[in-house]
Every structure is written in structure tokens, then in C-alpha cells.
């Protein structure tokens, strides 16, 4: 039987603002879209075919998949963003009798490997699960007295959770399940409702994952994916780069062709410099930071645990736990706040609602082609939409939509000195 993996890469990625100009799996980390890292991992598993479900209007991901080498990739199109169930049913004609379902941000191929190994001798459905201490936020399994999984409760009421086993997002499915899915009423949680129905009538294999499957719902989820990718990278021995003898380089630092580390700069790995990226004189790049192709830190920049997008330039300042998109221009003296004064967890406003990051460390989330004036600063967890312009000596304290001009007016006084 053909080994097939289905990846769901459709949808509007609305919670991924300001980086949702295309599907979130096309966000570039270390020189390659996230879905590219996932497909690279799948290659190692000797999968016969990969089916990727994308939105009809998403030309960028379509072009990337159409030109991808080394895997047999079939593309299915979801006509409108109407949830996980509709996305899967959009690929129905391409599905094998049994297949693995996952998502394009599963850059760790061990997820698929585990499901492959645990389901090689079964024909029914298998579900990957992991423990959670926040069961009210996920799809949670319920069990009978014998320990058999008998249902799914989506986001159960706090304190009434049937277990602490959450569904991780990777499944071994079959055509029988597809039949159940098609007969389940359309809703936001149609897939979970179908799985609940299937479990009540059929035996389902529970595959326990002792690690954690990385999420990609919000922009700050990129930090965990970035860290994983950096940990897997090795230096390309044929790369031609330039490191000043006066610079300091410690730990694993991956440099692509044309990358430069100039006089008295410090780069502490893990870190990545893309093609023609520059760490300028007296600048510091450290602790899982990434400079994409043609990105530049000019002089006196301290950048830690951050992603600087392709062709973005920062003149000077501090950038901590921040994601900067493509083509951004940042004036001198730029500062990102990355911790609250009280050191509590940072909340981010997403679609008019406050969402906890469950982290006390988060800087700014800055979209593509933003321009920042000198001495501008951004408070922790603030989102700046693509194409916006921030005036000099301006503090950004709340989210900004795309193409917004935002500046502080200052009163000035002129008086002749006697």
C-alpha cells in the first residue's frame, strides 16, 4: 500500500498577523519556508506521496510546491477557508485507503515517524496524543473504565475535563473515517465531531507522544520552530563568507555565501546568517538569532533571540525576542521592550482579544516594509502591520494596522539666551 502524508496548508492564517500575507507555513526561517523544512524531513521517511491542501488564491505556496524536487507532491485546492474538515474533504479524490494527516509546520519528522511505526499493522484510525496542563484549551480525549478512548471533547469547561490527554494534530486515518466526516454536519469543529462519532463506534489506537508537537497558530510560535531548526543545522563547508579577525564567534554559527561579520562584532551561537547578511562593527548577534538573506545589523546593534527578515536593515539599538519581516528599515537608537516591568506573562491583542503568550519574554512583531524613525521604541508584545511608518522618538504602545502612519507630536520652545 502506498505511504501517503496529507498536509493541510490552506486557510487565511488570520491569527498570524502581521505575517499573514501568505500561508503561515511559507514564513522563511534560516533561508527556507517552514513547509520546506517539513518536506525535507518527510524525504527521510521514504514516503511515496505527499498531498498538500492549499487555498486556491495562494499562488506563492503553489509555485513553491510545484517546483519542489525530491518528493511526489500532489496539490488539492480548498475553495474557501471553512475549517479543517472542509480542507481534508477537498483532497478526497487524492486520498489512499489509509493515510497520515498532519500540518506543514511539523518540521520534526519524528512526529510522522512515530505515527508510521505505531500504525504499520493496523487498518483503523490512530490519534497522536500528549499530556497538557491546560486541557480546557484543546480537544481532549475521554475514556471508558477499561481505558478505551470513546470520544473527544473540544475545549471542555475548566474543571470538567475528561482527561489531560490532548490531541496533537497528527492522525492515521482511513476512507471509513472520511465517510463519517462527510455525514457530520458542517461546523467549526466538524472534524473533531466526526472523530468523536468514529470513536463511539470503532476502536481507535492512541499513540502517545512523550515530547510536544510544536504549534503554529500565533506569530510567537515561530520562536520554538526557529530554535528546533537552528539545533538541526550544520555549517555548509562550501559556503564563502567573511569573518573579520577582530570579530568574536562562539558556538554553532551557520553562515551562507556572502555573509559578513565585521570588526569587533560578537556572534554567539546558535545563530544563522543568510546569504549576504551582515553583522556590523561593534554589533552583537546572540542566543538563537537569525539574519535572513541580505539582512543587516549596522553598528552597535544588540540582537538576541530574534528573527530579522530578508533585506531588513537595523541601524543601531536593542532587539530582543522580536520578529521583523522583510524589507524593514529601522533608524538609529531603536529599542524593543521585551519584558514587562512586573515580569508577568505578556498578553498580545489578536483579533481584538487578549491572548496570553504564557511567556514573560516577547518583543515586537513587525510586518514587512515597515519604516521606523530614529529613537523609536516598541513595548512588549506589540504588533505593527506591514507598510506602516513610525515617526522619530515615538513609543508604540498598542497594535497598529497595515499602512499606518504613527508619530508623536512634540512641543518645542525657542528663546533667545541673554
Judge if 227 and 209 occupy the same domain.
no
The domain in which residue 255 lies consists of 221-406
| 18 located within any domain | yes
What's the rounded mean pLDDT across residues 274-292?
A: 98
Mean pLDDT of 299-320: 98
Residue 411 lies in a domain: no
CATH code: domain of residue 302: 2.160.10.10
Nearest residue to 253 (alpha-carbon basis) of 207, 285, 282, 296? 285
Indicate whether 122 and 24 sit together in one domain.
yes
Whether residues 198 and 299 share a domain: the answer is: no
Q: Are residues 184 and 260 in the same domain?
A: no
- pLDDT tens readout for residues 209-264: 988 899 999 999 999 999 999 999 988 777 899 999 999 999 999 999 999 999 99
Residue 77 lies in a domain: yes
- In this structure, is residue 412 part of a structural domain? no
What mean pLDDT comes out for the span 293-308? Answer: 98
Indicate whether 46 and 116 sit together in one domain: yes
**Helix, strand, coil proportions of the chain in percent (round to 5)?**
20, 30, 50
Residue 123: what pLDDT? Answer: 78
CB atoms within 10 A of CB 95: 19
Q: What is the mean pLDDT of the chain?
A: 95
d(C-alpha 34, C-alpha 166), whole Å: 24
Q: Binning pLDDT at 50, 70 and 90, where does residue 194 land?
A: very high
Q: List Cα–Cα distances, 27 to 129, 181, 278, 320, in angstroms.
A: 27, 31, 21, 19
d(Cα 322, Cα 387) in Å, to the nearest integer?
Answer: 17
Domain end (from 190, 217, 244):
217
Instruction: Using the Cα atoms of residue 149, residue 153, residue 154 and residue 157 in order, give the sign of their dihedral.
Output: negative
**Pair 81, 116 in one domain:** yes
- For residue 63, the domain's CATH number is 3.90.550.10
Q: Name the pTM for this structure.
A: 0.95
Domain count of the fold of the chain? 2
Does residue 417 fall inside a structural domain? Answer: no
> Do 147 and 249 reside in the same domain of the chain?
no
Of the candidates 176, 13, 5, 31, the one whose C-alpha atom is nearest the C-alpha of residue 106 is 5
Among 176, 194, 217, the domain-final residue is 217
Amino acid at each position: 500500500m502506498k505511504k501517503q502524508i496529507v498536509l493541510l496548508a490552506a486557510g487565511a492564517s488570520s491569527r498570524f498577523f502581521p505575517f499573514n500575507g501568505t500561508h503561515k507555513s511559507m514564513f522563511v526561517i534560516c533561508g527556507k519556508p517552514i513547509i520546506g523544512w517539513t518536506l525535507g524531513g518527510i524525504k527521510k521517511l521514504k514516503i511515496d506521496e505527499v498531498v498538500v491542501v492549499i487555498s486556491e488564491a495562494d499562488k506563492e505556496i503553489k509555485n513553491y510546491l510545484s517546483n519542489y524536487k525530491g518528493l511526489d507532491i500532489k496539490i488539492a485546492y480548498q475553495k474557501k477557508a471553512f475549517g479543517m474538515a472542509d480542507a481534508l474533504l477537498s483532497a478526497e479524490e487524492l486520498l489512499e485507503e489509509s493515510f497520515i494527516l498532519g500540518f506543514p509546520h511539523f518540521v520534526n519528522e519524528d512526529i510522522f515517524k512515530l505515527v508510521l511505526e505505531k500504525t504499520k499493522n493496523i487498518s483503523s484510525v490512530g490519534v497522536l496524543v500528549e499530556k497538557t496542563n491546560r486541557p480546557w484549551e484543546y480537544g481532549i480525549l475521554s475514556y471508558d473504565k477499561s481505558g478505551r478512548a470513546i470520544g473527544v471533547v473540544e475545549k471542555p469547561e475548566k474543571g470538567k475535563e475528561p482527561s489531560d490527554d490532548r490531541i496533537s494534530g497528527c492522525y492515521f486515518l482511513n476512507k471509513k473515517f472520511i465517510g463519517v466526516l462527510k455525514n457530520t454536519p458542517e461546523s467549526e469543529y466538524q472534524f473533531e465531531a466526526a472523530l468523536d462519532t468514529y470513536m463511539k463506534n470503532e476502536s481507535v489506537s492512541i499513540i502517545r507522544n512523550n515530547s510536544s508537537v510544536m504549534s503554529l497558530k500565533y506569530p510567537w510560535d515561530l520562536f520554538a520552530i526557529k530554535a528546533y531548526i537552528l539545533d538541526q543545522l550544520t555549517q555548509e563547508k562550501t559556503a564563502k563568507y567573511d569573518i573579520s579577525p577582530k570579530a568574536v564567534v562562539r558556538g554553532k554559527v551557520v553562515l551562507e555565501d556572502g555573509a559578513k561579520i565585521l570588526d569587533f562584532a560578537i556572534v554567539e551561537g546558535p545563530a544563522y546568517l543568510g546569504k549576504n547578511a551582515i553583522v556590523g562593527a561593534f554589533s552583537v548577534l546572540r542566543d538563537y538569532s537569525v539574519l535572513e538573506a541580505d539582512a543587516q545589523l549596522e553598528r552597535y546593534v544588540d540582537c538576541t533571540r530574534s528573527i530579522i527578515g530578508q533585506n531588513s536593515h537595523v541601524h543601531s539599538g536593542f532587539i530582543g525576542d522580536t520578529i521583523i519581516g522583510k524589507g524593514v528599515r529601522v533608524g538609529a537608537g531603536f529599542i524593543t521592550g521585551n519584558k514587562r516591568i512586573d515580569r508577568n506573562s505578556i498578553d498580545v491583542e489578536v483579533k481584538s482579544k487578549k491572548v496570553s503568550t504564557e511567556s514573560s519574554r516577547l518583543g515586537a512583531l513587525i510586518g514587512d516594509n515597515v519604516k521606523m524613525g530614529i529613537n523609536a521604541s516598541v513595548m512588549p508584545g506589540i504588533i505593527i502591520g506591514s507598510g506602516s511608518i513610525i515617526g522619530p522618538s515615538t513609543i508604540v504602545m498598542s497594535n497598529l494596522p497595515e499602512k499606518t502612519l504613527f508619530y508623536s507630536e512634540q512641543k518645542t520652545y525657542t528663546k533667545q539666551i541673554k
